[in-house]
Amino acid sequence: MRRLNRKKTLNLMKELDAFPKVPESYLETSASGGTVSLIAFTTIAFLTIMEFMVYRDTWMKYEYEVDKDFTSKLRINIDITVAMRCQYVGADVLDLAETMVSSADGLIYEPVIFDLSPQQKEWQRMLQLIQSRLQEEHSLQDVIFKSAFKGASTALPPREDNSLQSPDACRIHGHLYVNKVAGNFHITVGKAIPHPRGHAHLAALVSHESYNFSHRIDHLSFGELIPGIINPLDGTEKIASDHNQMFQYFITVVPTKLHTYKISAETHQFSVTERERVINHAAGSHGVSGIFMKYDISSLMVTVTEEHMPFWQFLVRLCGIIGGIFSTTGILHGFGRFVAEVIFCRFRLGSYRSTSVPLPDGHTSNHVPLITDNSTH
């Protein structure tokens, strides 16, 4: 009884077979079919490898929403070297809420040599090269996001030469916490002194001949400090052509949430516009000599998420590749055989074309004369 049921089930499955098998005795192989099959298998293997590489790769997805966080503090990470002695310069932040943040709250003034050592110059050259590539190809920013924490540190390496030259510059580095409103971080002559109407700098005791706001920005970022992330102003160097010169940077800060398979952090991206001019009151160019970074906070927040192709999608694409190649090569092979048969048939018909044979009564016969054994004698 079980055997009978199994036989019925097997017959039912045979009737439902949507892929009928052709007996091998009905199959005909050819050299052209083998060549097309070889090309098809090679193409399938190549596209399968490429598809697997795409499956292994990831991409960054960008989403935008309104930033509703107005109460938290914004962290500014600073590493700037100014070509003046530390006792001559002062740095602080003044925002639109008229809140002054003194540099003593988190910045360190370190006497250094402004000229870089050979190793430091090579580091700066490579950083500037990366910045130029980032400006030309914005998609490289995704690679930097995915390689965060894996890349080398973006900080200026220490000097490898023990120079006996006395320090002629001041490195201002550290971090400050400010309100999430527009503000102005500046470095100018003299230490800052707060007063009820704002703040002032003690610049009266510094001679104009000692003004030199040539500077190098080794690092400037907003938010959480993430090693491996290169910011737009990292590696920037400006040389002043005049003692009374103003350097301005207009910065737009965009809050960013970064979620990759390696890290999850809240940081900030920013774009910058640069401007510099010589202070000349007689010519109508007013202002104060120094370095001014005016930043504004965007109301939009960007969420950057690293995504990966699902496995089911990879299988669907793979099946599409295999089926599409087989179908396409089959159609092309059939069309090629059809064209070849048409051409060969014309040549064959031309070789057996009828000839005219004259008859004794003056008529002609279009039939091909038969060749017999008697005709050869």
The pLDDT-based confidence of 195 (bands split at 50, 70, 90) is low
pLDDT over threshold 90, residue 295:
yes
Distances (CA, A) of 58 to 113, 257, 291, 314, 376: 44, 18, 40, 13, 83
- Residue 372: what pLDDT? 47
- The residue extents of the domains of the chain are 33-67+307-324, 73-298
Per-residue pLDDT, averaged over 70-94, amounts to 88
The pLDDT-based confidence of 203 (bands split at 50, 70, 90) is low
Q: Which residue has the higher pLDDT, 21 or 211?
A: 211
The pLDDT-based confidence of 67 (bands split at 50, 70, 90) is confident
Q: Biggest alpha carbon distance in the chain?
A: 137
Q: Helices 311-351 & 31-56, crossing angle to 10 degrees? A: 160
Summarised one tens digit per residue, pLDDT across range 128-172 is 888 888 777 776 777 777 776 555 556 777 777 777 778 889 999
Distances (CA, A) of 102 to 109, 186, 190, 194, 219: 13, 11, 13, 9, 19
Per-residue pLDDT, averaged over 162-184, amounts to 86
What is the pTM (predicted TM-score) of this model? 0.69
